[in-house]
Structure 1
């Protein structure tokens, strides 16, 4: 092994991205670039509203059960739609899709892990310089523009 290896040896030595997705080999803008915060948040609001509407079919709004059913429905919708249509309803309406970093089909375990962490909220608000939330990092996914 030569002494000219410039790769980081510790986690803290990894330089931040110049633009979101640079370290992942993704373009700075346009198709296949990392989805930006505005679309991500709007997609999340669409998905949460959808979960609220579906929850109303099972529980009254004023009930304590509604408080628990809504996050479960939200997670279930994510788990069903990410592997089947490439993203949640909110993602797809806004031209976004969830892909596995390793390529290929996202599978079943990634949407489950991603959705469980997303419903805990905190992992979703912790982002790196590639604008990937902790839920995406753990699941090995990235949210891309169309």
Structure 2
């Protein structure tokens, strides 16, 4: 019985000191997938209108939007619309290097799809950030 109780009380983010639900709890995969779909959709829309849907232009638009909005608001447009933000795990200011490094790693795709037991992508683990609910 204690095994069932311990697994029921072991939520993603617990080891990181995050609450199970509510503000500052770990953002769950559904919201994260929806947020990146929104961000990519915006990049595609701009690319279609201004760059004849050029794949490199689409990726560049996505990357610039990610970096700029992360630096200024701690979240991408999709994150903000869905009530999430990126914060340093140790607390403090996100800074400039973390959004830039995170953007590069997200654009590489592979680090973003490798997750740990706390549902943090490798891109967030490498730079010491976590995507949480606002």
- Give your verdict on TM over 0.5: yes
Which residue is equivalent to 1:19? Answer: 11
- Measure how far apart 1:82 and its partner are: 0.9
Which residue is equivalent to 2:86? Answer: 98
- Aligned residue pairs, count: 126
Equivalent residue runs for 1:1-146 within 5 Å: 18-61=10-53, 66-146=54-134
Output the aligned Cα RMSD. 1.3
Give the unaligned 5+ runs of structure 1.
1-16
- Cα separation, 2, equivalents of 1:72 and 1:26: 33
- Measure how far apart 1:22 and its partner are: 0.9
Q: Which has the higher helix share?
A: 2
- Runs (4+) of structure 1 exceeding 6 A deviation are none
Give the unaligned 5+ runs of structure 2.
1-8
* TM-score normalised over the length of structure 1: 0.82
- Cα separation, 2, equivalents of 1:99 and 1:41: 18
